[in-house]
Amino acid sequence: MSALVTPPAGTAAPGSTPVAGTTVRTPRPDLRRPSFARLVGVEARKTFDTRAGLWLCASIVVLAVVASAAVVLFAPDEALTFETFASAIGIPMAIVLPVLAILSVTSEWSQRSGLGTFTMVPSRGRVIAAKAAVAAVVGVVSMLVAMGVGALGTVVGSALAGTDAVWDSSVSSLVGIVVANLLGMAVGFMLGVLLRSSPAAIVGYFVYSFVVPTLLMTLATFQDWWADLQPWLDFNYAQTSLFDGWPGGEAWAQIGVSSLPWLVLPLLVGLWTLRRSEVK
């Protein structure tokens, strides 16, 4: 004896023709969440797809070339060393890279793309982590490109001056410069997460980079108690050891302690508010 299986009401039996008035249910698609590598790829494309991001990335190369050309044209022959070129290139890099990190976050709100982004990927923490990974990769690659341009400028400048090329920067000092720029990008990224507004975050970064250090240095000049505490509480001041070669244990401890009030705690607050804020 065989059993007769009757399909549920509103559906058509397999292999049969749907009857008028019935609903044919299609199989549910596979809705697996995208991998982190795919999120990183998407955020990388978003970084370069916008005009602001594209021109900021292009300006890194342009500024490196302009800085190298300025050193060749105006620096004396004895100053045509790799350290001179690296220092000249590092100044604009320290300004451009944090702005790029800021825009990678705030673009979701300034361009009103956050609703689509966080609808397709509801886990906001994964999206922010992907943005942070892209910012770090862009920062490292940009610094490598800048160092390549600086090396080329050293060779060309010494050849034009008729002197030998001077490579007076060690690998550890170059790595320290890269780490310092990555920390600067981390501060910009933190401001983007905390404020989620491009103008406010950019202004905040310039205040942090130029106004606050001046005020704290003035305070250290007249107050001995702050002069003793400044390496432990002033994140900008603590990072200066990264430009003088590879820091020692105490210098790393000062960088870590001073990062708590200036970087870590504000970033945690920003992540907490971002995950609970309404996206429009």
241 or 168: which leads in pLDDT? 241
Q: What is the token pair recorded at 6?
A: 């009757």
pTM of model > 0.75: yes
pLDDT at 148: 85
Digit-coded pLDDT (tens) for 202-218: 999 999 999 999 999 99
Token pair 């397999």 in the structure block, residue: 14
The C-alpha angle with vertex 193 and arms to 191 and 196, in degrees rounded to 5, equals 90
Q: Give the integer Cα–Cα distance in Å for 49 and 96.
A: 17
Class of residue 51 by CB neighbours under 10 A (exposed 0-12, middle 13-18, buried 19+): exposed
CA 191, 182, 71, 62 torsion-angle sign: negative
Mapped onto helix, strand or coil, the DSSP state of residue 35 is coil
Q: What is the token pair recorded at 138?
A: 């862009």
pLDDT at 12: 52
Q: Are 271 and 193 in contact (CB under 8 A)?
A: yes
Give which of 95, 89, 91, 96 is closest to 146, Cα–Cα: 89
Q: Are 201 and 195 in contact (CB under 8 A)?
A: yes
Mean pLDDT of 87-102: 85
Q: Are 33 and 123 in contact (CB under 8 A)?
A: yes
Mean pLDDT of 248-265: 94
Digit-coded pLDDT (tens) for 130-159: 999 999 998 898 888 888 888 888 888 888
DSSP secondary structure letter of residue 31: -
Mean pLDDT of 244-270: 92
Q: Are 258 and 231 in contact (CB under 8 A)?
A: yes
pLDDT class for 254, splitting at 50, 70, 90?
very high
pLDDT at 242: 87
| Number of Cβ atoms within 10 Å of the Cβ of 67 | 23
Q: What is the token pair recorded at 202?
A: 């950019």
Lowest-confidence segment of 39-43, 82-86, 115-119 by average pLDDT = 115-119
Crossing angle between the packed helical segments 36-49 and 51-74, to the nearest 10 degrees: 70
3-state secondary structure 174-189: HHHHHHHHHHHHHHHH
The number of angstroms, rounded, from the C-alpha of 176 to the middle of its chain's C-alpha atoms is 17
pLDDT at 188: 93
> Cα–Cα distances in Å, from 22 out to 12, 15, 16, 25, 120?
7, 15, 12, 10, 31
Digit-coded pLDDT (tens) for 50-89: 777 778 778 877 888 888 888 888 888 777 888 888 888 8
